[in-house]
Amino acid sequence: MWLNPPSRGPAIPSGIVRLLVLFPAFLALFCLLLQVQKRSVDAEFGVAGSGQLVRNPSLQADLGDEPEKSLPSEMEDLVREMNSIAQLTGGIKQGSKLAIATTTAAGLDTIKVWMRYHKTIGVSMFYLFLNGQVNHEPAIKELNRWSGVKLFPNDEKLKHRHAHSRAWNETWLSAFFNKPCNNELFVMQSLNMEVAIMQAREDGVDWIFHLDTDELLYPGGTETFSIQEYMDGLDHDVDAVVFPNYEGLAETDDITNPFTEVTLFKRNFAHVNSEQYFKKYKMVARGNPNYFTTYGNGKSAGKIQPHLRSNGAHRWYIYGKKPKEITSTEPTVLHYVYNKYADLKGRRDRCDCAPTDEDVKRCFILPFDREAFLASSLKEDEELRQYFRERLVWSERDNVRELLKSGLVVRIHTPQLLTQMYSKMPDAGLILAEPGESKTTVMDAYQMPVEE
C-alpha cells in the first residue's frame, strides 16, 4: 500500500481516502482496546486507570504475577491493521509547536521508536546531535529521510561553534570544564542546547525539551495522552517547566529492550508522600548511594524567547531575568537506566579512566556511575551479573508489592504498549519528509574563520 503520497502529482487513491475517512473511528477503537487491556492489567498490578499516577496508594490492588513482555494477543490483529495507516497519522494538532533536542549515540531502531512515540504525544521537531555509531554517513542519510528531523553531526563546524560559545566565559558550567568522560558529555550537551535554541527560533518552535534517547516524556493526567495538551494549558507567563523523572526498574536480568519490557518505575520524591519516602528509603535505595541510581532533578522544557539559554543539561535560564519555573504534578520523564545487564557491563568501556576511587571522581558526576564503572572494570562476568541482580533487578515480589502500596513505585503500561506497537512497524511508522521540507540547519550557515 502507498503510505507516503507526494505533495503533488496523481490524486490520492480512493483506498487511502477511505482509510482517512474511517481513521477517527479506527483510532477510537484502538483507544478503547487500550483501555480494556489496561483495566485488566491495572487490576492485576494495582495502577490507577489510564496509567495515571496513583494519588491514594491504599487503593492499589495487590501485585499479581510477572507482567507480560509481549503485546497482548487481542491487540495483534489491530496492530497489523494499524501498520497500514500508521504513516498517515501522528499526534500533532493545532497548538504549541514542541521540539526535543538530544545528544545521542543510540542505534537507529531505538531512535526511530523514540521519535515515533514522541510524535504520538505531540512533539513536532527533533534536533539530533549525533555521536558514535550514528555520526556516520549511512546513519545520517537514513535519519534525514524522516519528517520533522534536523541533524547536527559532530563535525568540525559544530566543534568550532562549541569552542567559541559564551558559556566558556561564565561560571554556570565551569565546574565541569576540563574533566573527562561524563563531565565532557555534560558540557557537550549544554553547548548543543545553545545551538538547538537557535534552531528552534528559526523553526518557530514554542517550547524546547532536552531529553536523552533512553528517556520518554509521559503525559500523565492529560485527557488525550498529549504533552502538547499539557503545554497548551500552561499560564502564559510560565518560562520553564520541570518534569520530575521516574526511574525504570528491571524485574528480570534478561531485559533487552527497556521501552517494551519495563513497566515498573521508582517515583520521584517530588511526587511521593514524604513520610513513606523517609520510612522506606533504605528499601528503595537497595544499597546504592542515593534514592535514584542516576539523576533525580528531572528534565525541563524552556519557552523559546529572547535570551533563553541552557543551564546545564537539565534546566533553562534567561539572561537578564529570573525565569518563572513550575514543576509538573503529573507529567513526568521516564528514565530507562541500567535496566539491561549490558548497560552495566558496558560501563567499563565508557571512559578512559583508571578503575580507582580517585580516578573515577574525575570521570563521573554521579556516585552510582562511579560504583558501576569500578564494578564492571574489576569483577568477573558471573560476579558482575550477580551484582546486577542484587543492586538493579527488582525480583523480590513482596518488596515490590509493598512499595506499590506505599506509592513509592508505580506501574505504567501505555509507553510499553505504544513502543511495542511501533517496534513492529516498518521504520516505526515514521512519515517520510516531503520533497520540499527543509533540512537546513543553523550550522549550515555557520561560517568558520579562514585560517591565515
DSSP conformation letters of 160-222: HHHHT-GGGGSSTTGGGTT--THHHHHHHHHHHHHHHHHHHHHHT-SEEEE--TTEEEE-TT-
Residues 34 and 54 in one domain: yes
Residues 401 and 344 in one domain: yes
Residue 189 C-alpha cell reads as 550537551
Helix (H, G, I), strand (E, B) or coil at 296: coil
Length of the chain: 452
Considering the domain boundaries, does residue 9 fall inside one? no
pTM value?
0.83
Residues 190 and 301 in one domain: yes
Residues 92 and 75 in one domain: no
Residue 168 C-alpha cell reads as 566558556
| Residues forming a β-bridge with 316 | 310
Residues 279 and 399 in one domain: yes
Residues 22 and 42 in one domain: yes
On the CB side of 179, CA atoms within 13 Å amount to 17
Considering the domain boundaries, does residue 78 fall inside one? yes
If you search the block for the grid coordinates 494477543, which residue do you land on? Answer: 73
Residues 232 and 307 in one domain: yes
Q: How far apart are CA 128 and CA 168, in angstroms?
A: 23
Considering the domain boundaries, does residue 452 fall inside one? no
Considering the domain boundaries, does residue 216 fall inside one? yes
The pLDDT profile of the chain, 452 residues, written as one tens digit per residue, is 333 333 334 444 444 434 443 444 444 445 544 443 444 334 333 333 333 333 333 223 333 334 444 444 444 444 444 443 443 345 677 899 999 999 999 999 999 999 999 999 999 999 999 999 999 999 999 999 999 999 999 999 999 999 999 889 888 888 899 888 999 999 999 999 999 999 999 999 999 999 999 999 999 999 999 999 999 999 999 999 999 999 999 999 999 999 999 999 999 999 999 999 999 999 999 999 999 999 999 999 999 999 999 998 999 999 999 999 999 999 999 999 999 999 999 998 888 899 999 999 999 999 999 999 999 999 999 999 999 999 999 999 999 999 999 999 999 999 999 999 999 999 999 999 999 999 999 999 998 876 65
Considering the domain boundaries, does residue 205 fall inside one? yes
What's the total number of domains in the chain? 2
Q: How far apart are CA 290 and CA 366, in angstroms?
A: 9
Burial (CB < 10 A; 0-12, 13-18, 19+), residue 339, is buried
Residues 361 and 229 in one domain: yes
Give the residue numbers spanning the domain of 51. 14-60+70-86
Query: CA–CA distance from 138 to each of 47, 135, 145, 217, 439 (Å)?
Result: 43, 9, 11, 28, 16
